[in-house]
Amino acid sequence: MATVKVSEAEKVYILHGIRDDLRVDGRGCEDYRHMEVETDVVSNTDGSAKVSLGHTVVLVGIKAEIGKPRPMVPNEGYLEFFVDCSANATPEFEGRGGEELGTELSNTLYKVFNNKHSVDLKGLCISAGEHCWVLYVDVLLLQCDGNLYDAISIAVKAALFNTKIPRVHISADDEGGKEIELSDDPYDCMRLNVENVPCIVTLCKVGHRHVVDATLQEKACSVASLIISVTHKGTVTCTRKVGGGSLDPESIFEMTEAGKRVGKALHAPLMKLLQQEESLGKKKQKVGFLG
């Protein structure tokens, strides 16, 4: 993870501000930085999204391919995650510096998203035990300014919303086997229901309080963080503690309740934004470096 060095005087300034619910950039403890979400930004994917959260920028592309279902769940498709930590995001990712973080992020995303409660995996099945859709989710970190988990989860949800999977027609061949035909019509496609797809909320313990969407400076003052994935109903689907410090039971309870509150409030405006952008169709104006 990208880190910055903070002096003792800066730490005291940040700690005192958070204690009084006033952070360095003027936000409250449970406020996010300015966020921009753009979908359909990469042409050679089945779904894509770019999210900017402060100076953290994440690009997600999804490619749907036909594969074989896993033996334990023959009537479900599945998702595969790969996270690439670009050296442009921070010098610490040069060489093999970002591999460990990429693996850590991939494993967390797999636990959060690759289950039947988040995505309709049965809807990805083409022929039980024989063929299913496999969604390859590629995440590219372009800039890193803290709070990667939240930015990536929002980008994944937006990309899944944007994903268009070709309609499949199964027919019998001359030898009695199954023949799969994919529709050539770009409008004859299947869309995913992302209503239950959770968003990740990361809460950092700073002093005796916790903050949402911590910057790198605030992260440097934090002893430990709690990563919580929350659905639109406020249901917690996954929790994970990161960092070298410890969290007492009271802090974990307070952070979990705050995460549920913040996560639930995050879904409605995100879905509204995605639906508005979808309704624009070809009239949508391309922004950013991919415009």
Residues 165-221 have pLDDT tens digits of 888 887 777 676 677 777 777 777 888 888 889 999 999 998 888 999 998 888 888
Residue 243, token pair as written in the block: 């960092």
**What 3-state class would DSSP assign to 90?**
coil
With a cut of 80, say whether residue 129 has pLDDT above it: yes
**Is the Cβ–Cβ distance between 29 and 20 less than 8 Å?**
no
Q: How confident is the model at residue 284 (pLDDT cuts 50, 70, 90)?
A: low
pLDDT at res. 291: 53
pLDDT at res. 211: 92
Tokens 């994970």 locate to 240
**Is the Cβ–Cβ distance between 152 and 109 less than 8 Å?**
yes
With a cut of 60, say whether residue 289 has pLDDT above it: no
Q: How confident is the model at residue 97 (pLDDT cuts 50, 70, 90)?
A: low
CATH topology of domain 27-280: Ribosomal Protein S5; domain 2 (3.30.230)
Q: State percent of the chain over pLDDT 70.
A: 93
pLDDT at res. 205: 92
| Cα atoms in the 13 Å half-sphere on the side-chain side of 202 | 22
Cα 222 to the center of its chain, rounded Å: 22
With a cut of 70, say whether residue 282 has pLDDT above it: no
Average pLDDT over residues 239-245: 87
Residue scoring higher pLDDT (223 or 157): 157
**Is the Cβ–Cβ distance between 10 and 26 less than 8 Å?**
no
pLDDT at res. 228: 94
